[in-house]
Amino acid sequence: MIATNSSATELLRPGSIREILRSPGPCITMLLPPYRPGEPAGSPATLLKSYIQEAARQLVERKVSKSASSDLLKPLEHLTEDPALVSGSHWGRAIFRSATVFEQFQLTQPVQASFSVSGSFAIRKLAGELARPLAFYILALSKTKVSLLRCVGLHAELANLPSGVPDTLEEAMAFEAPDHDL
Domain borders along the chain are 3-130, 135-172
Q: How far is CA 71 from CA 6, 101, 167, in A?
A: 16, 12, 58
Q: Give per-residue pLDDT as tens, 3-47.
A: 444 444 677 777 778 888 888 879 999 998 887 776 666 678 888
Q: How far is CA 54 from CA 62, 101, 165, 169, in A?
A: 12, 19, 57, 59
Contact yes or no for 44/75 (Cβ under 8 A)? no
Could you tell me the strand order of the sheet in which 114-118 lies?
A: 3-4, 101-107, 92-97, 27-32, 114-118
**In a 3-state reduction of DSSP, which class is residue 72?**
helix
**Residue 3 confidence (pLDDT):** 47
For residue 4, what is the enclosing H or E element?
strand 3-4
Q: Give per-residue pLDDT as tens, 60-80.
A: 888 888 888 888 999 988 888
CA dihedral (119, 121, 125, 129) in degrees, to 10, reads -160
Average pLDDT over residues 98-123: 88
pTM above 0.95, yes or no: no
CATH assignment of 3-130, given 3.30.960.10, 2.40.160.60, 1.10.3720.10, 3.40.50.1970?
A: 3.30.960.10
CB atoms within 10 A of CB 174: 10
> Taking the mean position of all CA atoms in its chain, how far away is CA 65?
32
b/e for 46-72, b at 16 or more Cβ within 10 A? ebbbebbeebbebbeeeebeeeebeeb
Contact yes or no for 44/32 (Cβ under 8 A)? yes
